[in-house]
Structure 1
């Protein structure tokens, strides 16, 4: 079975919540990069739509991804970002093209 090597998650934020969401997602970025097996974790804000943030992350293996998903800082971030979302996050696993 092919295991995704990277993940993209798109967050569309309520206009009045952009600053609060940026703080939550920036903290998530900083804490996630410290997780064992994290190859990279970046949060970006759209240049054309400031209400849209995208996280890009990759993990060394499935077990490191699963451990990350259970990490306390991730649970806190999921709870904190919820009220700021305009729509449900879009989560897309990515596979190598080659």
Structure 2
């Protein structure tokens, strides 16, 4: 969660700072740089998981990334979303 909040996480927008050979594009949709905002609120490949996140948060509004990352009540639904996407399974294991 700390890494999502700071933006220093193994998402492709950050990784080229470490390895210039890594493409900044999202590996799930290949249509935009994979930033924290893209991963949590915009990637079409994760739409089903995001809809479940919205249900858990009891909202139909678009995901507010800043509020999501700050709110204590959002921690469990956010971690469930991260787990369901499988995005960090190889680097963080099964959350």
State TM-score, norm by structure 1: 0.35
Instruction: Tell me which protein shows more helix as a share of its residues.
Output: 2
Higher RCO structure (Cα 8 Å, ≥6 apart): 1
Of structures 1 and 2, the larger Rg is shown by 1
State TM-score, norm by structure 2: 0.36
